[in-house]
Amino acid sequence: MHSMTTTEVFLVAMLLIFTVPYLIWRLGRTEYFAPLVVVQIVTGILLGPGVLGAAFPEYYTFVFNPAVIQSLNGIAWWAVMVFVWIAGIELDLHQAWEHRRESGITAGLALGVPLAFGSAAAIGMLMYPGWIGPKALTWQFVLGIGMACAVTALPILILLMEKMQILRQPIGQRILRYASVDDIAIWGVLALILMDWERVGKQIGFLVAFIVVGIAFRKLMARIPERDRWYCGLIWLAVVGLGADWSGLHYMVGAFLAGASMDSHWFKREDLDALRGNVLLVVMPVFFLSTGLRTNWQVGGGAVFLAAAVLLIASVSGKLIGTHWAG
């Protein structure tokens, strides 16, 4: 009997990733209440270890074995980096600088209020045993939960704005400015929570190097033809993503910074649109579904769902109240 190679099993996984969500979305006509990206994430959860994997463990260990998962992760990392990089290119830095005061106030409140609400919820959770780890300090737990409530899912936000056709509109640019500032700040908060001063030093060093090298990179990009700009832009994406991840800022933040340091007028708009559409079609489904595959349902009973509901309320209400206070 022929034993399937890793390549064959990988292609089986890709077949599931592209076929199952599409059939559910198209045949179920879920577009109005569940866009394809939502269906892809939910399908990943259903195909993952907590649902179908629990019912059919042999299926899960065969199809989504470590070698296949590692291959899928590589595709997912690059997919989301390119997607966020394109969004960074779309951000108008000149406009962002002109509105720096407004951006700072709004981003600060949109980050600070949900962080405070989440921290308050964490204090309530400390009244019950089992939530905090044995090596964690109380303030680390409280601030960590608050940070989790304040973080922005930047790729999903960009996708929703693109779907609503507001990404290039003034409101879309404003939202992108606020979210990008918050995402950069939140990784700095994480470094402080972990009390990793070496990481803080790396992040400062990375940002200084990014500014210095970025100035030279921009001069280079302005002088070369558009065809070469695409190649140089992707090289720049890999370099900045690597530097950001090395410093602890996360490769996705690096991808956005790489794009934000570039001007959209360096490229034809139709080429940017075509690239975004191709990335969404060809590789982003792997990212969305792999997100669901990582979901673990081995939780500690109903109390976890109650805590999740409280934290969801803290996060959503905090974002809404923070932006409302900012005016």
Single pTM value for the model: 0.80
Report the alpha-carbon distance of residue 70 to residue 68 in Å, rounded: 5
What is the span of the domain harbouring residue 173? 81-284
Look at residue 55 and tell me if it is in a domain.
no
Q: Are 264 and 272 in contact (CB under 8 A)?
A: yes
- Residue 186's domain is classified under what CATH number? 1.20.1530.20
CA distance 133 to 240: 34
How confident is the model at residue 252, as a pLDDT?
Answer: 86
pLDDT for position 196: 67
- Rounded CA separation 86/84 (Å): 5
Instruction: Confirm whether 46 is domain-assigned.
Output: no
The number of folded domains in the chain is 1
Is residue 58, in this structure, part of any structural domain at all? no
Which 8-state DSSP code applies to residue 261? T
Is 218 a member of any domain?
Answer: yes
Q: Which residues of the chain fall below pLDDT 70?
A: 1-2, 96, 191, 195-196, 296-301
Rounded to an integer, what distance in angstroms lies between the CA atom of residue 202 and that of residue 197?
9
The predicted pLDDT at position 195 comes to 63
Has residue 129 been placed in a domain? yes
Cβ atoms within 10 Å, residue 305: 11
Residue 33 located in a structural domain: no
Residue 154 counted as domain residue: yes
Instruction: Quote the pLDDT of residue 298.
Output: 64
Q: Is 38 exposed, middle or buried (0-12, 13-18, 19+ CB in 10 A)?
A: middle
The tokens describing 38, both together, are 């939502």
**pLDDT of res. 1:** 52
Q: How does pLDDT run across 102-146, given as a tens digit for each residue?
A: 878 888 888 889 999 999 999 999 988 888 888 888 888 999 899
Residue 71 lies in a domain: no
Q: Rounded to an integer, what distance in angstroms lies between the CA atom of residue 63 and that of residue 60?
A: 5
Q: What's the pLDDT at 301?
A: 62
Q: Which pLDDT value is given to residue 211?
A: 95
